Amino acid sequence: MIDALVRFSANHPALLWLLPLALLPLLTSAQRRVPVAALAAAPPDGPSRAISALLRVAGIVAIAGLILALAGPYRRGETLTRTGIGAQVSILIDRSGSMNETFAGRQPSGAEESKAAASRRLLAAFVGSRAHDQFAVTAFSTAPMLVIPMTDRHAAVRAAIAAIDRPGLDYTNIARGLAMALSQFGPASPATSRALLLVSDGAAVIDPRVQDTLRAAFTRLRPNLYWLFLRTKGSPSISDRPAGEDTPQAAPERHLDLFFKSLRTPYRAFEAEGAEAVAEAIAQIERLERDPIPYTEQRPRRDLAGFAYAASLVGLVVLVAAKLGEADLRRTRRSAAPVLAIASDPARHAA
Amino acid sequence: MTLPRLILRNLSDGRLRLLAGALVLVALALVARPLPFARDGVSVLAIVDITGSMNVRDYVDADGVPTSRLDTAKVALRDLVAGLPCGSRFALGLFTERRPFLLFTPIETCAGFAPIDGALAGIDWRMAWEGDSRISAGLFRSIAMAGELGTDLVFITDGQEAPPLPSRGGPAFEGRLGGVRGLIVGAGAPGLSPIPRYDDRGRETGFYGAGDVQQENRFGPPPADAAQREGYNPRNAPFGAAAASGTEHLSSVRESYLRTLAGETGLVYAPLDGPHGLSAPLRGAATPRPVPGRLDPRPVLGAAALLLLLAAFLTPLLRARGFPTWKKA
């Protein structure tokens, strides 16, 4: 009951201070004053008193209704939590300069599409294909950049993805990017399915000191990890062993893959050498991420001014009807017409 | 007197007319629907300078705590976005080195307020990818970016070029004067303040000293007055023999420089006076873009009805106190 009351509110609560004006009908009346020689001459009349009370109430309702309506009453909207199918997806996008080249490692010319443009097109289709997915977007080059925090506003996410095929920056500092992308998950129920989608065309050495921090974060959040590796033709694959020494410096892609595999969280790498392969990888991720997710639904606030206007209208109709039916005792007596019963309270007006 | 005649006579009653007027107005309010009309919204790209000098704490927040220029700029942008009429669009980018970096293309400001707010809160100087601060180059590219996106521009900076501009001045603006409208917002106080310094783990370790930064740009030809300098030699010491000295390690808002840039590019200069007040200058400088608005006519109808109704009840009181009303006798 109290909960229900708390949800009522007004746009201009200050106007409610005018409410005492609604007591005006107790002091005065809109009806005509009719002089009567002696009040005691008229017997007490039940219907007259009832009409008098009705008119006062009608006046109070009309004035109070209008004041309430002007204050703009409404019942607050509420946020309902429901369960749908979807996932929290944290997208981590490489914005290093090489993303603006084609899959063949050239500057795009004519109808060719750069890696960034291809991922932009395909990711934009991924976002919004399911209503209850939540997305966060993080970009990284030399430094990680928080682009959009975890949100269910898909238009905003698409706006962030629309910006990824602009000229990129310098280097690929993947460790800090991963740390920020993980921090985007934030608090959520443990049942929520989380996915981290890394889109990059290269890798970098992860500092051993940072590796432990990342490992701890992965263990705590347990996201499903997807690495969409946009491989340039001719460059080493994730699984290629380098000819010489097998160090992270010599083959950063392979060692990043090994690091991801050592995390003990569900992990899949997709090596894409063209736009079709990217599309296929995204479709696979979409199929894999099918878990219940709690999502919030906003129930909009409800405007109650209409009810106040309606109440005021009822009061006004009564007042106007009473005014139309007013009879003047002096003149009616002269014309010898039947006295209409709908007179205002004669007792009061004679007093 | 018959009923119709009675009603006819009552119709000439002033208070009846007041009540009937109120009745009609309230009835109209009940059926009235919001009127569509066009409001002036804006579509704006905000580029925030995240270079080192924006960490200078020369603002004071509401609690009296010194606040950095960057934090003040973030709060001011949030305030700006919250005050824009629904249907306005907002895009965000960062500036460091010599170019802007677009975080997202324009988003509608009402439906997208939560993500915009989160993105603004997330802006950090640690996002900078390089340390230089070539304001004019960044500004010109931001103008080009706003032109591409079809938006106006809000460029927030303190105007401190690092390294300092050479004696012949910065690059010239090659775009169309006034092709993009908007604001250059000068962040910072007019007095010099020390610039905080951070180590490679991002922890504050003190302030920049005079020897830590480049005080004079010695690329390109020397300035005209170099011949008067101590130890000048046209071949071996074209900038004089003394080490450059100056106040480049301290920072203030370079208002005159920013005003010059504004004049060159057709933007309007506005100082950032605190966490509020970007809205009015932007509305003055930006291209008005019609966004659909709705006007609820009910308060006007309701207020008029209330006045009529109160008049109907007050006239007997007023008349009793000798105030003139419409009644002749």
* Cis geometry, peptide bond prior to residue B163 (ω within 30 degrees of 0): yes
- pLDDT category at A3 given cuts 50, 70, 90 is low
Widest distance between CA atoms in chain B: 120
Percentage, residues of chain A above pLDDT 90? 9
Q: ipTM of the predicted structure?
A: 0.74
Q: What is the pLDDT of residue B224?
A: 78
**Model confidence pLDDT, tens digit, residues B105-124:** 999 988 888 889 999 999 98
Residue B316 and residue B328: Cα distance in Å, rounded? 14
Which chain A residues are Cβ-neighbours of B124 within 8 angstroms?
Answer: 146
Residue B277 and residue B282: Cα distance in Å, rounded? 9
B114 touches chain A (CB under 8 A): yes
Residue B53 and residue A348: Cα distance in Å, rounded? 80
Interface test with A, best of B3, B8, B11, B16 (most A CBs within 10 A): B16
Measured between CA atoms, the residue of chain A closest to residue B31 is: A306
- pLDDT category at A344 given cuts 50, 70, 90 is very low
Spacing of C-alpha B88 from chain mean position: 13
Q: What is the pLDDT of residue A346?
A: 44
- φ, ψ of residue B104 to 5 degrees: the values are -150, 150
In this prediction, residues A278-283 reach a mean pLDDT of 80
Contact indicator for B255, B270 with CB cutoff of 8 Å: no
In this prediction, residues B303-323 reach a mean pLDDT of 84
- φ, ψ of residue B53 to 5 degrees: the values are -70, -15
- pLDDT category at A343 given cuts 50, 70, 90 is very low
Helices (H) and strands (E) in chain B — how many of each? 8, 14
**The model's pTM:** 0.74
Query: Within a 10 A sphere around the Cβ of A172, how many other Cβ atoms?
Result: 23
Token pair, residue B33, equals 């629907």
Residue A182 and residue A194: Cα distance in Å, rounded? 10
Q: Cβ neighbours of residue B280 under 8 Å, at least 6 residues apart? A: none
Residue A333 and residue B1: Cα distance in Å, rounded? 9
Q: What is the pLDDT of residue A335?
A: 44
Which chain A residues are Cβ-neighbours of B111 within 8 angstroms?
Answer: 153, 155
Q: Cβ neighbours of residue B31 under 8 Å, at least 6 residues apart? A: none
Contact A147 B119 (CB under 8 A): yes
User: Does the pLDDT of residue B248 top 90, yes or no?
Assistant: no
In this prediction, residues A49-75 reach a mean pLDDT of 90
Mean pLDDT, rounded, of chain A: 79
Token pair, residue B242, equals 């003394």
**Model confidence pLDDT, tens digit, residues B274-296:** 888 888 888 888 888 888 777 88
B16 touches chain A (CB under 8 A): yes
Q: What is the pLDDT of residue A329?
A: 57
User: Does the pLDDT of residue A347 top 60, yes or no?
Assistant: no
B147 touches chain A (CB under 8 A): no
Q: Is the dihedral of CA A244, A247, A248, A249 positive or negative?
A: negative
**Model confidence pLDDT, tens digit, residues A63-97:** 999 999 998 888 877 777 777 777 888 999 888 77
Of the segments A224-228, A260-264, A268-272, A307-311, which one has the largest average pLDDT value? A307-311
Instruction: Say if strands A267-272 and A224-230 run parallel, antiparallel, or are unpaired.
Output: parallel
Contact A29 B7 (CB under 8 A): no
In this prediction, residues A281-293 reach a mean pLDDT of 77
User: Does the pLDDT of residue B200 top 50, yes or no?
Assistant: yes
Rg of chain A in Å (alpha carbons) = 37
Q: What is the pLDDT of residue B153?
A: 92
Q: How many CB pairs under 8 A join A and B?
A: 169
Which chain A residues are Cβ-neighbours of B11 within 8 angstroms?
Answer: 324
B67: region left, alpha or beta (phi > 0 left; psi from -120 to 50 alpha): beta
DSSP string, A238-276: TTPPPSS---TTT-HHHHHHHHHHTT-S-EEEEEESSHH
Contact A313 B101 (CB under 8 A): no
Contact B129 A143 (CB under 8 A): yes
Q: What is the pLDDT of residue B327?
A: 53
In this prediction, residues B308-329 reach a mean pLDDT of 74
Which chain A residues are Cβ-neighbours of B310 within 8 angstroms?
Answer: 21, 24, 63
Residue among B90, B141, B128 at smallest CA distance from B111:
B90
Contact indicator for B125, B81 with CB cutoff of 8 Å: no
What letter does residue A300 receive in the DSSP assignment? P
Query: Within a 10 A sphere around the Cβ of A330, how many other Cβ atoms?
Result: 10
For residue A313, give the nearest of B30, B124, B299 by CB distance.
B30
Which chain A residues are Cβ-neighbours of B6 within 8 angstroms?
Answer: 325-327, 332, 337, 340
Residue among A251, A299, A273 at smallest CA distance from A103:
A273
Q: What is the pLDDT of residue A4?
A: 66
In this prediction, residues A24-44 reach a mean pLDDT of 77
In this prediction, residues B132-136 reach a mean pLDDT of 85
Residue B79 and residue B184: Cα distance in Å, rounded? 17
**Model confidence pLDDT, tens digit, residues A124-137:** 888 877 777 888 99
Query: Could you give the strand order of the β-sheet that contains B152-157, starting from the edge strand earlier in sequence?
Result: B99-108, B89-96, B43-49, B152-157, B182-186, B268-271
Q: Give the DSSP H/E element, type plus range, for residue B61.
A: none
In this prediction, residues B18-29 reach a mean pLDDT of 91
